[in-house]
């Protein structure tokens, strides 16, 4: 798979998330997907996304940086949203926060098989202290 | 600059940090470097590294994942170390902690001009709760 191809697949995956198009999630995410070392599988991955959206109804994934070297994609995602209650253990309680996620994906046969994600919790803490 | 070239430069940069070879830092880091949106410049960048090492004398940068698409490099760095006192506002106090940093770099003329870094603070918090 060439580089533009993998970038394109990744952009389509993000568009799928932003549409809440769960029926097509299996086009992008492997049945065997591992997230931060945990063997979620596709159903656990979908559960995680649904839980995120329950906590953050206005969640929107925005690609700020995309670095692609097959079989890996690295992305810096930007969020600007209003978590309802707690998020990452922080009492956000409907305040608007902006933060980033730096995340690596390994693809196999065009699907995500491994994810290593870090969300910038410290940035949210700083905004809540204001 | 081709892809293996940029990966090689990045690996040499990490080796430079692990040797505490500050005299050669300017080979890898631009005078105009910006870190997480702050215009550190080379001297501010060096100050940050020296402060990190003051807090964490046994700091060692280990590349777990490297994704390179010029002009960008994305790396997942792994750390296994013993911060002396506080680190990221957490009272680590000499305990051994393992954590990752997911970080993006933009290169220009072979030098780092922009860094977007997130350290996995939540992982450290989890280890301190044990």
* CB-CB contact of A106 with A113 (8 Å): yes
B120–A contact, CB cutoff 8 A: yes
pLDDT-based confidence at B4, cuts 50/70/90?
Answer: low
Please give the torsion angle defined by the CA atoms of residues B69, B73, B78 and B81, in that order, rounded to the nearest 10 degrees.
Answer: 170
Which has the closest alpha carbon to B98: B77, B74, B75? B77
Check pLDDT > 80 for residue B69.
yes
Alpha helices in chain B (DSSP H): 3-18, 41-55, 121-129
Total Cβ atoms within 10 A of residue A43: 10
Q: Poorest-confidence range of B2-16, B26-40, B52-66? A: B2-16
Which has the closest alpha carbon to A93: A50, A127, A123? A127
Q: What is the pLDDT of residue B2?
A: 42
- CB contacts of B68 in chain A (<8 Å) are 67, 69
Which of B7, B121, B124, B128 has the most A C-beta neighbours within 10 Å, making it the best mutation to test the interface with A?
A: B121
pLDDT tens-digit map of A36-91: 999 999 999 999 999 999 999 999 999 999 999 999 999 999 999 999 999 999 99
* CB-CB contact of B14 with B103 (8 Å): no
* CB-CB contact of B25 with B16 (8 Å): yes
User: Is there a contact between A118 and B116 if contact means CB atoms under 8 Å apart?
Assistant: no
Instruction: Give, to the nearest 10 degrees, the angle between helix A121-129 and helix B121-129.
Output: 90
Check pLDDT > 80 for residue B38.
yes
Gap between the terminal Cα atoms of chain A: 47
pLDDT, chain B, mean:
95
Which structure tokens are listed for A62?
């925005």
A63–B contact, CB cutoff 8 A: no
Q: What is the pLDDT of residue B1?
A: 43
Q: What is the pLDDT of residue A4?
A: 56
User: Is there a contact between B102 and A116 if contact means CB atoms under 8 Å apart?
Assistant: yes
Which has the closest alpha carbon to B111: B12, B19, B23? B12
Q: Say which of B72, B73, B104 has its CB closest to residue A102.
A: B104
Check pLDDT > 80 for residue B3.
no
3-state secondary structure of B62: strand
User: Is there a contact between A116 and B122 if contact means CB atoms under 8 Å apart?
Assistant: no
Check pLDDT > 70 for residue B15.
yes
Check pLDDT > 50 for residue B36.
yes
B82–A contact, CB cutoff 8 A: no
Task: Please name the residues in contact with B98: beta carbons below 8 A apart, sequence gap of 6 or more.
Answer: B78, B79, B80, B123, B127
Average pLDDT over residues B51-76: 97
Q: What is the pLDDT of residue A1?
A: 43
> Quick check: ipTM above 0.85?
yes
pLDDT tens-digit map of A5-44: 999 999 999 999 999 999 999 999 999 999 999 999 999 9
Give B37→chain A minimum CA distance, Å.
12
Question: At CA B27, angle to CA B25 and CA B28, rounded to 5?
Answer: 75
User: Is there a contact between B118 and A104 if contact means CB atoms under 8 Å apart?
Assistant: no
Q: What is the pLDDT of residue A60?
A: 98
pLDDT tens-digit map of B39-54: 999 999 999 999 999 9
Domains of chain B, residue spans = 3-129
Q: How far apart are CA A99 and CA A76, in angstroms?
A: 10
Average pLDDT over residues A96-115: 97
* CATH architecture, domain A3-129: Roll (3.10)
Which structure tokens are listed for B127?
């280890």
Q: What is the pLDDT of residue A11?
A: 97
């Amino acid at each position: 798979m060439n580089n533009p191809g993998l970038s394109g697949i990744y952009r389509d995956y993000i568009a799928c998330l932003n549409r809440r198009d769960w029926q097509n999630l299996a086009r992008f995410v492997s049945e065997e997907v591992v997230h931060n070392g945990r063997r979620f599988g596709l159903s656990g991955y979908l559960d995680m996304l649904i839980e995120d959206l329950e906590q953050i109804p206005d969640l929107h994934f925005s690609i700020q940086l995309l670095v692609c070297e097959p079989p890996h994609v690295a992305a810096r995602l930007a969020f600007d949203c209003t978590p309802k209650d707690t998020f990452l253990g922080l009492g956000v309680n409907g305040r608007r926060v902006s933060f980033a996620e730096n995340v690596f994906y390994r693809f196999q046969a065009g699907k995500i098989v491994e994810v290593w994600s870090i969300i910038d919790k410290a940035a949210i803490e700083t905004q809540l202290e204001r």
